[in-house]
């Protein structure tokens, strides 16, 4: 039994999960118990529709699943506050970046633990979630929470979670930074701000949708829009040249991977 779900933290990511579950009809507000001293709009909306917001400690024993969604820097504090009140059969699912299952298990009284690294596209049920657990019950519980929200990728080795965080969990920000830069580049060659914004955003979201729906190799799609000696080829000589996207992204992903390891430490 997955519910009631106790959410420890309901900020941006936790709020995205709430919105996605409601969108898909996976879990209703009445399935949720939310513990957050400064809950976001999604948590407040769920509370108005039946979720228990900041319930007293005695009620926490009802939780069958505990979703740890606080910032990694304060996860131990959150665990210490609630663990004495949890039922022995509660299962822990953590989305706290960099925090190892062994450490989580210790702080949560040896309860079954799964780690998940999702994206905030959970809000529109287009999430990508990397999952690791060595415990079958916790693994199944994590799947139950995240399968309704998009794509799930199972990791066989927990050490890969750092890389998954860098490639998936953090990468929406890489795309948004690219869009910002493309809009600014459009303005630099004479487009107005509104024109640059519409052209950059609509083109990139369309390209992403084509990649998702066709399942084609990105290299093949790139070739399809690159005529020899044309405008796209001229641009790609810059983007894929020395110091271009390849080296930049390798360095960016390596930096994010290192930081994930540091947060876990």
Mean pLDDT score, 152-158: 96
pLDDT at 116: 97
H, E, C per residue of 164-206: HHHHHHCHHHHHHHHHHHHHHHHHHCCCCHHHHHHHHHHHHHH
Q: What average pLDDT does the structure give for the chain? A: 95
* Two structure tokens written together for 69: 């969604």
Whether the pLDDT of residue 141 is over 90: the answer is yes
Mean pLDDT score, 65-73: 94
Give the span between the Cα atoms of 237 and 222, in whole angstroms. Answer: 13
Whether the pLDDT of residue 132 is over 80: the answer is yes
Q: What are phi and psi of 151, to 5 degrees?
A: -100, 135
Confirm if 68 and 94 have CB atoms less than 8 A apart: yes
Mean pLDDT score, 97-103: 92
Whether the pLDDT of residue 265 is over 90: the answer is no
pLDDT at 97: 86
Number of neighbouring beta carbons within 10 Å of residue 192: 10
120 vs 149: which has the higher pLDDT: 149
Whether the pLDDT of residue 207 is over 90: the answer is yes
Mean pLDDT score, 73-87: 95
H, E, C per residue of the chain: CCCCEEEECCCHHHHHHHHHHHHHCCCCHHHEEEECCCCCHHHHHHHHCCCEECCCHHHHHHCCEEEECCCHHHHHHHHHHHHHHCCCCCEEEECCCCCCHHHHHHHCCCCCEEEEECCHHHHHCCEEEEEECCCHHHHHHHHHHHHHHEEEEECCCCCHHHHHHHHHHCHHHHHHHHHHHHHHHHHHCCCCHHHHHHHHHHHHHHHHHHHHHHCCCHHHHHHHCCCCCCHHHHHHHHHCCCCCHHHHHHHHHHHHHHHHHHHHC
pLDDT at 261: 85
CA distances from 20 to 124, 127, 130, 221 (A): 6, 9, 17, 30
Give the span between the Cα atoms of 176 and 32, in whole angstroms. Answer: 31
Nearest alpha-carbon partner for 71 in 150, 15, 11, 152: 11
């Amino acid at each position: 039994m997955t519910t009631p779900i106790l959410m420890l933290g309901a900020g941006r990511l936790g709020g995205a999960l709430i919105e996605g579950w409601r969108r898909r009809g996976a879990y209703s507000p009445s399935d949720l118990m939310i513990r957050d001293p400064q809950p976001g709009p999604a948590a407040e909306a769920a509370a108005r529709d039946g979720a228990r917001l900041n319930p007293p400690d005695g009620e926490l024993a009802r939780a069958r699943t505990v979703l740890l969604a606080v910032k990694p820097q304060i996860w131990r504090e959150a665990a210490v506050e609630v663990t004495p009140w949890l039922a022995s059969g509660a299962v822990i699912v953590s989305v706290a970046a960099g925090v190892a299952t062994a450490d989580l298990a210790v702080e949560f009284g040896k309860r079954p633990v799964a780690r998940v690294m999702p994206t905030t596209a959970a809000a529109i049920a287009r999430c990508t979630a990397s999952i690791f657990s060595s415990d079958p019950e916790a693994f199944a519980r994590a799947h139950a929470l995240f399968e309704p929200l998009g794509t799930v990728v199972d990791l066989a080795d927990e050490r890969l979670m750092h890389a998954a965080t860098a490639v998936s969990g953090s990468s929406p920000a890489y795309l948004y930074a690219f869009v910002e830069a493309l809009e600014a580049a459009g303005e630099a060659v004479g487009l107005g701000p509104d024109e640059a914004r519409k052209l950059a955003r609509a083109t990139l979201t369309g390209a992403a949708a084509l990649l998702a729906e066709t399942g084609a190799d990105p290299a093949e799609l790139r070739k399809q829009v690159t005529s020899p000696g044309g405008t796209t080829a001229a641009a790609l000589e810059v983007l894929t040249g020395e110091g271009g996207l390849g080296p930049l992204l390798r360095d960016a992903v390596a930096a994010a991977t290192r930081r994930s390891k540091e947060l876990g430490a």
